[in-house]
Amino acid sequence: MTTQYKKVVLAYSGGLDTSIILKWLQEQYRCEVVTFTADIGQGEEVEPARAKAQAMGIKEIYVEDLTEEFVRDFVYPMLRANTIYEGEYLLGTSIARPLIAKRLVEIARETGADAVAHGATGKGNDQVRFELGAYALNPGIKVIAPWRIWDLTSREKLMQYAEQHGIPIEAKRKGAASPYSMDANLLHISYEGGELEDPWFEPDPTMWRWTVAPKQAPDKAETLELEFSKGDVIAINGESMTPAKVLRALNTIGGRHGIGRADIVENRYVGMKSRGCYETPGGTILHKAHRAMESLTLDRELAHLKDDLMPRYASLIYNGYWWSPERKAMQTLIDETQHHVNGVVRLKLYKGNISITGRRSETDSLFDTSIATFEEDAGAYNQKDAEGFIRLLALRLRIHGKRK
């Protein structure tokens, strides 16, 4: 190794892979390692990571609850754009990476570290997301990606390395765990690998962890009212909540009604196709409700402009460009459109389905009953005006028709 580092900040989950990386960094670079473990709502205790890091001789350990920041500053801004990648993916993994990259860089600055490290593989999108974020926030930062460097290229080699270096191999890693590679946060849980690598294979019903099968959901529908302020949900059924509490509550409610399952073959940024399964119950509800709120309060051309921009915005997030100038510029436009997205949406959940049953806005509705009514409108709309309007619209079509 020609490059030497005195101190490296590692994104550390406490699991086998990142524990091996921790030891590998110490052995390979003879450096001090700082561990950073983020709680972004993955549903597992993160404090055990502290004890594991201490047992491996780590002196500077960061274990942080970032759930509110995650939803407030990353998930909510993304949802204001009605963001979906390739028509189906609500970007649950993608949107978490810029926050982790941000804290890695901040901790490196706080501790005087000269490099950061992550456990993403050389085949996936996460390596791109982590590193583009890190370089955008600190152009001079050094990034170590062990999976692109070491020769531990199989599960067997990893297990041998762990045994040789006294790294505990938990029982669940020996066969009791899920056969899938999973990633969870407050927005979603994903499943990849194993039998899912065959896109024809139907997932085992026991794979899903957050949602019940729609046929097993309650036989009675559940009605919710979501209150919006400037495009963000601030209350459920009249109860005010913080962003993270909103998402956590909707995950629970949506999960018991079988909301938010997806089975997708997506195009990774590195060039390959990948099959993944996702559970995003709360995010699915928020997405559906937000579009309903905008349908009442957003100008037609503004709404259509947002729809035109959304696929580009989704690709920027998926591909790791959250901190790019173009994403920030688009966010400014998106947020500008949300000033009047205020009101309440009523929806009904039933066996995997979401039905919008009502929407209202006391101050910002653009729905004018006097104009839209099928009854007598007292002159609010002159139907004769439509004749000239249509003739002008048809002018180019008539000229084109004559040519034929």
DSSP 12-54: --SSHHHHHHHHHHHHHH--EEEEEEEESS-SS-STHHHHHHH
Q: 261 and 211 in contact (C-beta within 8 Å)?
A: yes
Strand partners, 397: none
Cα distance between residue 247 and residue 241, in whole Å? 9
Residue 17 appears among annotated catalytic residues: yes
Cα distance between residue 214 and residue 97, in whole Å? 31
The total of other beta-carbon atoms located within 10 Å of residue 112's CB is 11
Structure token digits, residue 169:
């191999």
Residue 97 appears among annotated catalytic residues: yes
Strand partners, 9: 34, 116
Name the nearest CA neighbour of 31 among 21, 39, 40.
21
Among the listed residues 50, 114, 181, 295, the single catalytic one is 181
Among the listed residues 126, 190, 232, 274, the single catalytic one is 126
Specify the amino acid at residue 18. T
Pairing between strand 343-350 and 181-184? Answer: unpaired
Among the listed residues 97, 248, 261, 359, the single catalytic one is 97
Cα distance between residue 150 and residue 160, in whole Å? 14
Q: 233 and 286 in contact (C-beta within 8 Å)?
A: yes
DSSP 207: G
Cα distance between residue 357 and residue 290, in whole Å? 13
Side by side, which strands form the sheet with 273-279?
181-184, 189-192, 273-279, 261-267
Pairing between strand 7-11 and 115-117? Answer: parallel
Cα distance between residue 354 and residue 70, in whole Å? 25
DSSP 370-393: HHH-SS--TTSS-TTHHHHHHHHH
Sign of CA dihedral 143, 149, 153, 157: negative
Cα distance between residue 246 and residue 317, in whole Å? 22
Q: 34 and 61 in contact (C-beta within 8 Å)?
A: yes
Beta strand residue intervals within 89-141, DSSP E: 115-117
Q: Which residues are catalytic?
A: 17, 97, 126, 181
